[in-house]
Chain A
Amino acid sequence: DVKVTQSSRYLVKRTGEKVFLECVQDMDHENMFWYRQDPGLGLRLIYFSYDVKMKEKGDIPEGYSVSREKKERFSLILESASTNQTSMYLCASTGAGGQPQHFGDGTRLSIL
């Protein structure tokens, strides 16, 4: 079974802090994705990566950056956290071809 692991299930940070969300997958997948999910808005893509050191902006990249130094790890960075970044963050990965995306358990992030 594919395993996508996010470092924290719940996280509380303060406005202005730099926040790191980590995601690791164990299936040698090329593609990794970061989404946020908010009530009424569904899943929105922040960034994705199709190879080590490669990154592409999604629909809502403002206020975020990412890092992919190793194939199995994809990090989401909130450069200076703001209250409107309080959300559920979901990481996903997939291999080449028509495979489904597999999601981690999610990180519920609260910015106070």
Chain B
Amino acid sequence: GQNIDQPTEMTATEGAIVQINCTYQTSGFNGLFWYQQHAGEAPTFLSYNVLDGLEEKGRFSSFLSRSKGYSYLLLKELQMKDSASYLCAVRGDFSGNTPLVFGKGTRLSVIA
């Protein structure tokens, strides 16, 4: 079966660092994606990991451990505009025509 777990909600303070975890159990694996979704808007692509390790992109970093079925998204120097839902998604094969399997999302609230 396909299962992706991430916390439902998190709260963090402006300027701080927050880590959003994602664990997955899927029948195949060929990449993990993180998306950001502001309320009422479409998801926008943040990062992609296919090999183990850390991918850094400005204030955002994403980590993958394939052996543990685990990823996290790290947000540094939090800003109020980072308040959004963060979706973890897994692709089962590399062809592109296999749909992503999405977690239910983590709603992050950044407070002053």
Contacts and interface: CB of A to CB of B under 8 A. Distances in A.
Interface of A: 30-31, 33, 40-43, 45, 48, 50, 58, 90, 94-106, 108
Given A90-B43, A104-B42, A106-B42, A99 B103 contact: no
Interface in B11-41: 30-31, 33, 40-41
Most buried by B among A33, A94, A101: A101
Interface residues of B, number: 23
Contact of A97 (B44, B94, B100): B94
Contact of A98 (B40, B42, B43, B48): B48
6 contacts: A40-B104, A43-B87, A50-B97, A97-B95, A100-B48, A105-B42
Contact of B42 (A40, A96, A103): A103
Interface of B: 30-31, 33, 40-45, 48, 50, 87, 91, 94-97, 99-100, 102-105
A105 B41 contact: yes
A68 to B, nearest CB: 13
Contacts of B41: 105-106
Most buried by B among A33, A41, A42, A48: A42
B42 A43 contact: no
B96 A42 contact: no
Given A42-B103, A98-B30, A100-B48, A30 B97 contact: yes
Given A90-B42, A98-B96, 10 more contacts: A41-B104, A42-B105, A43-B102, A58-B99, A96-B97, A98-B31, A101-B45, A102-B45, A103-B43, A105-B41
